[in-house]
Amino acid sequence: MIDQMVTERNWAGNYGYQAPRIAHPASMAELQDLVAGTGKVRALGSRHSFNDIADTAGTLVVLDRLDAGISVDPQNMTVTVSGGTRYGTLAAELHRQGFALHNLASLPHISVAGAVATATHGSGDGNGNLATAVAELELVTADGTVVTARRGDADFDGMVVGLGALGIVSRLTLDIEPSFEIAQSVFEGLDWEQVLESFDDVTSAAYSVSLFTDWSGPTVGQAWLKDRTDHTALPAGLQEFFAGTPATQARHPLPGVSGSNCTQQLGVPGPWSDRLAHFRMEFTPSQGDELQSEYLIPREHAVDALRTMRNLSDIVTPLLLVGEIRTIAADQLWLSPNYGRDGIGLHFTWRQDEPAVTAILPLLEAELAPFGARPHWGKLFHGDAAAIAPLYPRFADFTALAGRLDPAGKFRNAFLDRTVFGR
């Protein structure tokens, strides 16, 4: 096992981890012994959270020395993988073997366990978040015992989006399907009023659709359409999409940034593993020195929420690098922001001015509150447990589950105390 003193910051650089120790166990036995013999402990993934969700007053555990152990079961159409493996690594190996995941987040750099635990997602009207692919998970609990939970088990739906509160997720088994190809096209300058009047038509135009905007002006900056070539495809040579015109070169979501580190565009078909994410695995994703927030809103409130955001442009746009609008299908995972409802994600990539961003979050959340907005667990938000609990019908069931699996609170931290347990 490798131990080190913590000098780590998160990917964006806005948060420095306070834990005095980071451990890198090299085997399951080492992981079990570490968890059993340690006071406070948390798993640390790819550090792509923007708050203190992954921190602890004790030991941070990184699973990067565990074998990825990518094992495909073609009969059951599943793949089993170590929780610390990055999605880009998993996607490349699955494609090599002729298989696919149903979706990817915008970044392939994130760890499987971390993304699942926070219900991180891609886009697509019919696509659930990444956690919905979990068929089984393996959890190291407070005394070092390994617990396995499978889809259909009594507490499974509460354990998948677990926020790290239940134990260290060491392995996951995910649903897979035959590999497929994606053709990604970007359209620029969509008319906002046309988008609002025909929002369902916009988001259903491809397998995965993302809209990028700064919320100001009469047009949506970009629409990224990821179209499966084995499904109904966009018409070849489409010259207009809700008054938007095709990009003639690779685009980046952020204005003025080269599209060279983004996945292949211009309608060129290619593997799902190289198209479903926005950014290439081999490059630094997005801008790097940025902050992020996101709120998930029921689909029936989509247009009203979008109009509300446009009315907040004077406040939001000066702090914004870019905003993104995505769609996500409903699920039954207790703490998933899409529990029980199809939804849209309103994503904010902020300039790295945390005091200014933090100052406007209460206003932003108050304006979105009438729509039942649930914050993304891994990003910046203001609400505490008192505000969040009423948004989740199974919230009390989750806290009871955490009490049973971790009665001494070994996996709890300041983030969980503030946003879940209300301390």
Answer whether 225's CB lies under 8 Å from 234's CB.
yes
Q: Both 257 and 347 in a single domain? A: yes
56 occurs within a structural domain:
yes
Answer whether 117's CB lies under 8 Å from 161's CB.
yes
Residue 297, SS3? Answer: strand
What does residue 227 show for φ and ψ, rounded to 5 degrees? -105, 125
pLDDT for 8: 84
Residue 252, SS3? Answer: coil
Q: Both 297 and 275 in a single domain? A: yes
Q: Is the pLDDT of residue 7 over 80?
A: no
Q: Both 171 and 296 in a single domain? A: no
Q: Both 56 and 109 in a single domain? A: no
Q: Both 235 and 369 in a single domain? A: yes
Q: How confident is the model at residue 394 (pLDDT cuts 50, 70, 90)?
A: very high
Nearby residues of 130 by Cβ (< 8 Å), 6 or more positions away:
87, 101, 103, 104, 105, 112, 115, 116, 119, 120, 121, 122
Give the CATH number for residue 37: 3.30.43.10
Q: Are strands 59-61 and 41-43 parallel, antiparallel or unpaired?
A: parallel
Q: Both 101 and 169 in a single domain? A: yes
Q: Both 218 and 302 in a single domain? A: yes
Answer whether 185's CB lies under 8 Å from 234's CB.
yes
**pLDDT mean across residues, the chain:** 95
407 occurs within a structural domain:
no
Answer whether 63's CB lies under 8 Å from 419's CB.
no
Residue 371, SS3? Answer: helix
Q: How confident is the model at residue 284 (pLDDT cuts 50, 70, 90)?
A: low
Q: Is the pLDDT of residue 289 over 90?
A: no
309 occurs within a structural domain:
yes
- Comparing CA positions, the residue from 218, 219, 202 lying closest to residue 210 is 202
Q: Both 150 and 189 in a single domain? A: no
105 occurs within a structural domain:
yes
Residue 411 CB neighbour total at 10 angstroms: 25
pLDDT for 288: 64
Q: Both 242 and 143 in a single domain? A: no
Give the CATH number for residue 106: 3.30.465.10
In total, how many domains does the chain have? Answer: 3
Nearby residues of 131 by Cβ (< 8 Å), 6 or more positions away:
115, 116, 117, 119, 120, 160, 161, 331, 333, 336
> What is this structure's pTM?
0.96
pLDDT for 67: 86
Final residue of a structural domain among 61, 84, 109: 61
Give the CATH number for residue 253: 3.30.70.2520
Q: Both 170 and 82 in a single domain? A: yes
285 occurs within a structural domain:
yes
pLDDT for 423: 66
Spacing of C-alpha 64 from chain mean position: 20
Enclosing domain of residue 207: 181-375
The alpha-carbon radius of gyration of the chain (Å, integer) is 21
* Amino acid identity for residue 181 in this structure: E
Name residue, tokens 């347990």.
Answer: 421
Q: Both 345 and 224 in a single domain? A: yes
Helix axes 302-311, 354-368, angle to 10 degrees: 140
Q: Is the pLDDT of residue 112 over 70?
A: yes
> Using one digit for the tens of pLDDT, what is the confidence trace for 26-35?
999 999 999 9
Nearby residues of 300 by Cβ (< 8 Å), 6 or more positions away:
none
195 occurs within a structural domain:
yes
What does residue 209 show for φ and ψ, rounded to 5 degrees? -130, 130
CA–CA dist 187, 162 (Å, integer): 37
Once rounded to an integer, what is the mean pLDDT over residues 105-128? 96
What does residue 111 show for φ and ψ, rounded to 5 degrees? -80, 150
Residue 387, SS3? Answer: helix
Final residue of a structural domain among 145, 161, 179: 179
> Using one digit for the tens of pLDDT, what is the confidence trace for 209-254?
999 999 999 999 999 999 999 987 777 778 899 999 999 999 999 9
CA–CA dist 36, 169 (Å, integer): 14
Q: Both 138 and 208 in a single domain? A: no
Once rounded to an integer, what is the mean pLDDT over residues 400-406? 97
47 occurs within a structural domain:
yes
> Using one digit for the tens of pLDDT, what is the confidence trace for 33-70?
999 999 999 999 999 999 999 999 999 999 999 887 89
DSSP state of 354: H
Q: Is the pLDDT of residue 192 over 60?
A: yes
pLDDT for 256: 85
Q: Which two tokens stand for residue 417?
A: 């105390």
Once rounded to an integer, what is the mean pLDDT over residues 339-360? 97
CA–CA dist 398, 421 (Å, integer): 10
Answer whether 104's CB lies under 8 Å from 122's CB.
yes
pLDDT for 3: 67
